[in-house]
Amino acid sequence: MKNDESGIIARAVAGDSTAFRNVLDAHYMTIYRMAFRFCGNKPDAEDVTQMTCMKLAQNISAFKGESAFTTWLYTVVLNTARDWKRSQSRHERGSIGLETIENTVSNSQTPEQILETSQKMVAVYNLPEPECEIVWLVFGEGLSHKQVAEIMGVAEGTISWRINEARKILKEGGSK
């Protein structure tokens, strides 16, 4: 399967529109899920997802295969979300929609656990931007520190340091 995906990605990079559509179909929910985590609500996540898909169509030829495709894809989604947030003066940092919380909690959680999860999510959204992004990539997407470092273009030690800073901020119960 991995070789099949690599072949499809290579054909998409070479300009094959059917292959590109297959790549997009295979990764659409990943794009949307990540956009949703960063935006905090469905309409904004849909906008970022659509913008990301357009950027992918325009820039897939820039993928050189030097990293995993998903690493490159996360970078595109993250940069698109950052650009979108900066362009939207009506969206204040730390805003989180109820649907974000509803989509994160599990049906097996008690009301107390749901409250605790929602409070943690709000706290994460209130972290400074780099820490917030790193927490979502490491804990939300399950990426390694090395993968996140590659996505963000920083040293792996920087990711570890920022996670530590995020933990300190969250432990203190506030934002910087």
105-145 per-position pLDDT tens digit? 555 666 676 666 666 777 777 788 888 888 888 888 888 99
In a domain? residue 51: yes
In the chain, % of residues over pLDDT 70: 80
DSSP string, the chain: -HHHHHHHHHHHHTT-HHHHHHHHHHHHHHHHHHHHHHH-SHHHHHHHHHHHHHHHHHHGGG--SSS-HHHHHHHHHHHHHHHHHHH-TT--TT---HHHHHHHS-TTS-HHHHHHHHHHHHHHHTS-HHHHHHHIIIIIS---HHHHHHHHTS-HHHHHHHHHHHHHHHHHTS--
Where in the sequence is the domain holding 35, given as residue range(s)? 1-91
Question: Does residue 133 lie in a domain region?
Answer: no
| Least confident interval from 20-29, 64-73, 114-123, 165-174 | 114-123
CATH number at residue 76: 1.10.1740.10
Residue 129 lies in a domain: no
| Domain total in the chain | 1
What predicted TM-score, i.e. pTM, was given to this entire model?
A: 0.70
pLDDT for 42-64, tens place per residue?
888 899 999 999 999 999 999 98
